[in-house]
Structure 1
């Protein structure tokens, strides 16, 4: 049987399969913009980036794929680097516009509120661009874009085989070509910045305006001289999105189930007995660096939607530093400072249980491991349990099962409510439309509803589709959520091919039925549970124990 990702189910719904289709309603959230661009060494590059991006996503010849738009940019960058006056930069940008070619102008359209809020063109009126360029760019920005745009996002349009959304036809370059060429480094920055500008629905939630981020990123990218500085520049850039889906993938991930470090009461605490370290040991320093300095450095390189999720990710990097490298770790144990020399050693991971009985009356399911074929046997095995605990923690992978079949065992209702969704308007890059999707359980699907209590365990590691499952279970099946607020990075990701690697970000905006944001907030539990030094020293899973106690009482 073909397995379906939860996210594919969403896409099938989004692209007109089972979704209610009200009149067009735009997603409107005011963003912070930078409008003033007087000429200087920074703004000449920022304006170049913006002009190139506007033409890439709106000029009819470019959106039709008639030009290699990367090549057009690369041909202009050397001349712009030598340009010392506004007139010289305008001349280079006119060459770029001329390269795009002539087009047939249609009647100017009125910009909808969503587009005005997300893609403000105030920079055209308050920059060093001359009147000729300004007026021509405004005309181009007023055009509708034929879907699918050559460089735009392919939203699938009903094709549920598409797992990852991504910009189309982006050229790939070997990293040896990119470094140390300032032209290719700027191409990387400009590509990423414009994809975010036109397709990231959460710019309004960022701590720093994306316009300001561009200005601050120009010279760090121009000064890139090796692979490490290239990676660091992108990590810092992605971190400004404040998005838990903003990955920049250069290397392999850590082992997924190694939960070895926790931050408790502002202390970085060991959770396992390994390599001479004990549960409850407090890390003071790694090598010659104090742990607070390490955490601060990592924070600048890690993108996360919530403070809790950022601390969780920092803990994973510290886990790698401590247990996967030979190093000295200075700890505090029972009030005494000790230095422990760590030598890397293989970890033996316990084989996880897909489902089991914790007690005679309580079932446990590691939900992200579940597959479609195992849904019916799981519910049959636990059918007489007083309650089932579904664990949604510590799994970066998304669930691989048919949501209809899973939900069928939890409710008699045929229509399952899910989030409000804001999706990119395919003909107007930068605008977003509200959709009100539903999951419809077909009449042909017959299940015996589970009649016991339903609990879901969540914490700051619970992200993306796992967050949506928790929310849907509470809203539709009266499930109780126990643990800590989730990651706050919801919806499908958009993957961006970049020279040398790929990046990603949250491509949809998901909201509660009242329109309130879930991005950067996460799903809040009904019962909050936080770790303590005592629970860590005792090796307890405090969230699971709270769930068992809840069911027993």
Structure 2
């Protein structure tokens, strides 16, 4: 009995204390973080003294062969030791009044990673304390209107999707761009570390090209940023296709409502009419299609993602599709045609005025059309109105500051900006000077200022709304905006894979966010199915009522 007990004890001890074999996901996730950290923190790497991509390709086979924590840590330790000495380097002396933003900065993983030996963690901590302080070879803030720029990345003109090394490199590059330089990482739905682990398998070991392409797209959508999306030409094939119906749709209550006709003649062939309610596409409900597309359509909030979904769900590579639709309370099913973009020959847009006078002495301004040279004459013509409705639902021209000179009695603060601190990647700095608009003007506009917003109000449109909010008598009317205010940075991850994200932080003067939240309407009104069918602009109608005095 004693022998059996002893044997069981030995077996149990070996089981408990045996080194657990690491998974490929565990090793690659940690390697991604170490590789990016060294890229921006290690003096020999951040200064551009070595081919950092080549270093990754050389260490990956060693990582793959490592089975235990000890073996894995040893590979990384030897790798770091081979990079050269890290001299003691005091951090740059900054103005003591500098206002730091550190919600995105978290290097605890260098000290608390279960896969790292104590010695490895100490090496990473030493590099943090003595990090590179010069001009980083791979990133700078010298880009002008979009300051953030990723630099000196090898393009790799020949990138077959079957090349595992380049797939991993693409993932590692993008993940670390976001980790250290995306200002709104802290408001994403999913923890960025968890997103890395989740997306690894379809990138390092995809079952098909489609899996890899959609995984790269999905990763960028996890930023919850209307500016953020990775694009590849073949993604169109898998997300929808390169043929389109001769109409446009808007998603309302999980139904697709036809709101425009791209070509009147082609729409007539298929008997497509504005106001038709599409409930199914090729046998799937619109709600089911929206759920699938949700992983691949960019948007800081659900409302912001809907316009793209309403377009993509009708696209495809076949010449037709089947829809179930409702017209005049009757459900019907039919096939409609798809066309290449060149064959649609889109009808010219209707010519509408840049601004006009509505009933009851109310001015209306289409901000998407008013140019700088128009502002003086426009404001002169509208100065005696009881209200001006500024329609900010489509991307406006760059006239908001000039118009605000007429709306404000004095300069007003609009926004506070946040930018990357390259001396400590992952940390950000609040700009001391705030953006302002307006000027000293005793003859400023005294009527109501009404601003129309919606899902099509994003980026510069949201900044325009923020500027108008500084006027003494402003009311915002409409629905949730896109929630992506700040410079949109377009960049190439690797040959054939372009991406983007909001690269600078824009906040209200009190540091309140607009990212994801958008510009909150004072009066909320959304388009309805009935309104579209009756040809109404319900948001504008509500604004006119408010201008007349209705609350």
How does the TM-score come out when normalised to structure 2? Answer: 0.82
- 1:399 counterpart residue number: 397
Aligned length: 504
TM-aligned CA distance change 1:534 to 1:108, over 3 Å: closer
- 1:8 counterpart residue number: none
Give per-residue Cα distances to partners, 1:247-284, cap 9 Å, x unaligned: 223359999xx993233334332224634122332212
Distance 1:441 1:470 in 2: 12
**Secondary structure of 1:419 counterpart:** strand
TM-aligned CA distance change 1:196 to 1:338, over 3 Å: same
TM-aligned CA distance change 1:169 to 1:226, over 3 Å: farther
- 2:127 counterpart residue number: 140
Distance 1:202 1:50 in 2: 19
- 1:295 counterpart residue number: 290
**What pairs up with 1:532-547 in 2 under 5 angstroms?**
532-547=528-543
TM-aligned CA distance change 1:320 to 1:479, over 3 Å: farther
Distance 1:481 1:61 in 2: 52
CA contact under 8 A between 2:255 and 2:286: conserved in structure 1?
Answer: no
**What pairs up with 1:153-232 in 2 under 5 angstroms?**
154-156=140-142, 161-163=144-146, 165-174=148-157, 176-224=158-206, 227-232=209-214
TM-aligned CA distance change 1:372 to 1:272, over 3 Å: closer
- 1:130 counterpart residue number: 117
- 1:504 counterpart residue number: 500
Instruction: Name the Cα RMSD after superposition.
Output: 3.2
- 1:364 counterpart residue number: 364
TM-aligned CA distance change 1:147 to 1:316, over 3 Å: farther
Give per-residue Cα distances to partners, 1:388-409, cap 9 Å, x unaligned: 22111133xx6334x5433212
Higher relative contact order (CA 8 A, sep 6+): 1
Out of 535-544 and 261-270, give the one that drifted further: 261-270
1:149 has 2:136 as partner: yes
How does the TM-score come out when normalised to structure 1? Answer: 0.82
- 2:251 counterpart residue number: 263
CA contact under 8 A between 2:69 and 2:115: conserved in structure 1?
Answer: yes
Gaps of 5+ in 2: 1-19, 262-266
Distance 1:464 1:508 in 2: 11
Please report how far the alpha carbon of residue 219 of structure 1 lies from its aligned counterpart in structure 2 after TM superposition. 0.8
CA contact under 8 A between 2:72 and 2:115: conserved in structure 1?
Answer: no
Give per-residue Cα distances to partners, 1:306-337, cap 9 Å, x unaligned: 12112233223235469x96322221233433
CA contact under 8 A between 1:419 and 1:437: conserved in structure 2?
Answer: no
Q: 1:525 aligns with which of 521, 525, 534?
A: 521
CA contact under 8 A between 2:276 and 2:325: conserved in structure 1?
Answer: yes
Distance 2:445 2:22 in 1: 67
Distance 2:320 2:311 in 1: 17
CA contact under 8 A between 2:32 and 2:172: conserved in structure 1?
Answer: yes
- 1:495 counterpart residue number: 490
Q: 2:415 aligns with which of 405, 412, 419?
A: 419
Out of 164-173 and 353-362, give the one that drifted further: 353-362
TM-aligned CA distance change 1:125 to 1:265, over 3 Å: closer
The structure whose Rg is larger is 2
TM-aligned CA distance change 1:116 to 1:367, over 3 Å: closer
Distance 1:438 1:62 in 2: 35
Give per-residue Cα distances to partners, 1:481-532, cap 9 Å, x unaligned: 1111211111123334211222112223333344333222111111111122
Distance 1:552 1:442 in 2: 26
CA contact under 8 A between 1:353 and 1:365: conserved in structure 2?
Answer: no
Distance 2:65 2:86 in 1: 30
TM-aligned CA distance change 1:79 to 1:501, over 3 Å: same
Distance 1:47 1:80 in 2: 10
Please report how far the alpha carbon of residue 181 of structure 1 lies from its aligned counterpart in structure 2 after TM superposition. 0.8
- 1:382 counterpart residue number: 382
Distance 1:320 1:365 in 2: 34
